[in-house]
Amino acid sequence: MLEQNISTVNNDVKTLVKDAQALFTAATALTGEKADELRGRGMRALDSALAKAHEAQISAVAASKEAAKQADAYVKDNPWRSVAAAASIGLLVGVIIGRK
């Protein structure tokens, strides 16, 4: 679910930035009120993109903290299982490295 949210936010941010770039490009060809209006719309689009990116960052940090808490609780509840899992992973990595 987190990966899907991050992907959606990334796509939204890319779209907003492209729209803002198009608005700024169009604004350079214009002068006066129209140019100011296009620049304003571009700035609002960029602000929106930054806000969405910030929201995604906050969501990712919260999800990683929750995952760390769950991992910590599991290790405290199952210390020997955790040691066995870590040793198995270490052995597997050692075998893979030793084959090369």
37: number of CA atoms within 13 Å, CB side?
4
The domain segmentation of the chain, as residue ranges, is: 2-99
- Kindly indicate the confidence band of residue 96, based on its pLDDT and cuts at 50, 70 and 90: very high
Looking at the predicted structure, is the pLDDT value of residue 85 above 70? yes
Q: Report whether 74 contacts 66 (CB < 8 A).
A: no
pLDDT number for residue 69: 93
pLDDT number for residue 5: 67
Q: Give the single-character DSSP code of 78.
A: -
Spell out the long-range contacts of 13-17 with Cβ–Cβ below 8 A and sequence spacing 24 or more.
Answer: 13/49, 13/52, 13/53, 16/45, 16/46, 16/48, 16/49, 16/52, 17/45, 17/46, 17/49
3-class SS of residue 72 = helix
pLDDT tens for 30-84 read 667 777 777 777 778 778 877 877 888 888 888 889 999 999 998 899 999 989 9
